Structure 1
């Protein structure tokens, strides 16, 4: 089949949805399909040179330059501005399916000529609902979600229960291979290193990890934060106020291809979200590197980690005492921690690879 992904952000920014598009594109190409990616003018490219993938980019008006009548309005205008330039190519490419990743793009079926054979699939990775999206959604032919939790969100809003395809991990890139970069981070081997990678926004819950470190009072523990965002200055000030700033390392964002080395440097991953993560690709990537993980019991995170306590520990969101107890359990249980890390890798291999996702997506489109 000829399958296209339309999302202005896939060539202009990094994130879970963007990673899912690029990785699914490669997995689908491996299965023999011809893939087209349509994004905004930008420099972001994943390594797809050896795949049957065509990348097309178009001018667009960034949301920051759109009159502020609400963030959702800005994002819709941003996407419409790209569609104005991309429509002709999408029609000409005569695709079998177009995958849309946000309801903000639900106008696309209405842009196609009546003679077009192209059908549209919504691949959800969250919510991002807005007024009138149900009406626009009537032209969507297939619905898929990245977790059972996310499927429930979509069913509740749109009254369509999606096929669950789950997100995945490139298990050849994210591996427990030997070698790490502790020496470049100036972290001694005898320290217990927690690793987080992602955007520094409030709902990621990092403030509660800092509070947990203050409760622990354990000089062996270090916390590596890879990323930036609006909360960074506030988190740095909080670390100083709590007296744990010497235990916390703030590191600038790194390319997706560089993340495995950071995870391999750690003893455990920690992802204490207080918001409804639909899946949590970064959690799965850390697990694929052989790390036990601590995650919040919220959204789709329990589906990634599992409820059994064999691949990671789930804690109540926004609960520093529970986070501190989970950290202490991993610090003091070396063999327990190593077994859990092995189980984490096996869970990702068995359930959450991009090939799994691609096959589930194709099954959903076929139905």
Structure 2
């Protein structure tokens, strides 16, 4: 198959959706498909063998939001950002002779559907969140197929669009994320106390990621240090909060950690905390951590209950509840036998998210859509 993976931020940002696209491209290419990634002009990244990358200019949402009518119109600014890229990308979408155009955001429905009309490609809508806007219902109902990263997200999409996507979890690379010995140099390199419990948060620093909850919980977890791997707009506020609570020496902002280095952190800390209270439809960090044998304490929100086996590979707690988070963390830190049992079960549980099984399901969706198209034109 000739496949276009179309998503502006794949080539401009680091995040769960972006990693999904890069990994999916690699895995599809391994199976002999011709795969192109189409994204916005941004950081260059080496693609896997068999994958071509095309980048196109666009007008950033920040510029659109600087206009008074769009200052609070977040969805509309993102839509305009995407449409400006589409102007440059449409000729490639049309001339690429793609059989499948796989989107990751509803913002890209209009150019993809236009490309379908002009080229005959089939359009797959990948659903990772709640990126809704006026007019998206009409466009979404014209796609040829849809996949969603969790049952939670599929239900959200069904309420909005009137159809239920095929649930295909995000995948993980188990050749990278697997159990390994702790790094004996980590504490020295980061100037950490030799015996302090280590908690880890991995993700973008956005208000809805709930890192504030983890920092406030730290006041009730003796001696523990919170390592924060990620960056984002909420970092200044979180840093100020740590100072206000007297936790400057126990909250360490690591900035963006390269993906290849994450397994070392997962292997060398005691627990992962995942604290989102909005917009969390899957949870790639908890899955990667469990694949490495690290127990997780996560909020019972969004897709987290689907990716963390409560009581078997980690614990689930109410969102935005520092006391509940602290109690769960303390219960595991004080019980190394139970924590070891969770750690042993975690990689077995996480195996269901390995890429071979995920690509099997995505390929099945592609084939079904193409077969239906062929029957309609027979």
Specify the TM-score bucket, using the shorter chain as the normaliser: over 0.9
| Partner residue in 1 for 2:56 | 58
SS at match of 2:107: helix
| 1:323 to partner: Cα distance | 0.7
| 1:113 to partner: Cα distance | 6.4
| Partner residue in 2 for 1:89 | 92
Q: Is the 8 A contact 1:147 1:165 kept in 2?
A: yes
Q: Is the 8 A contact 1:109 1:139 kept in 2?
A: no
SS at match of 2:132: coil
Mapped pair 1:214 → 2:219: yes
Cα deviation code 1:315-365 (max 9, x no counterpart):
01111111111111111111211221121111111x101222211111122
CA distance in 2, matches of 1:229, 1:165: 28
Moved more, 204-213 or 111-120: 111-120
Mapped pair 1:256 → 2:259: yes
| Partner residue in 1 for 2:376 | none
Q: Is the 8 A contact 1:193 1:222 kept in 2?
A: yes
| Partner residue in 1 for 2:356 | 355
Moved more, 89-98 or 68-77: 68-77
CA distance in 1, matches of 2:78, 2:241: 32
Aligned alpha-carbon RMSD (Å): 1.6
- Structure 2 portions without partners, runs of 5+: 369-378
SS at match of 1:188: coil
CA distance in 2, matches of 1:14, 1:151: 24
| Partner residue in 2 for 1:345 | 347
| 1:115 to partner: Cα distance | 5.3
Moved more, 281-290 or 59-68: 59-68
Match of 2:234 among 231, 234, 238: 231
Q: Is the 8 A contact 1:194 1:222 kept in 2?
A: yes
SS at match of 1:131: coil
Q: Is the 8 A contact 1:197 1:227 kept in 2?
A: yes
Mapped pair 1:149 → 2:152: yes
| Partner residue in 1 for 2:203 | 198
Q: Is the 8 A contact 1:29 1:53 kept in 2?
A: yes
| 1:174 to partner: Cα distance | 1.5
SS at match of 1:38: strand
Q: Is the 8 A contact 1:276 1:298 kept in 2?
A: no
| Partner residue in 1 for 2:371 | none
| 1:179 to partner: Cα distance | 4.0
| Divergent runs of 4+, >6 A | none
Cα deviation code 1:187-213 (max 9, x no counterpart):
234221000011112111111222222
| Partner residue in 1 for 2:140 | 137
CA distance in 1, matches of 2:43, 2:204: 20
| 1:243 to partner: Cα distance | 2.5
CA distance in 1, matches of 2:130, 2:357: 23
Map 1:1-367 onto structure 2 (within 5 A): 1-45=1-45, 47-49=46-48, 51-66=49-64, 68=67, 69=70, 70-112=73-115, 114=117, 116-180=119-183, 181-216=186-221, 218-219=222-223, 221-307=224-310, 309-349=311-351, 351-367=352-368
TM-score (normalizing by structure 1): 0.94
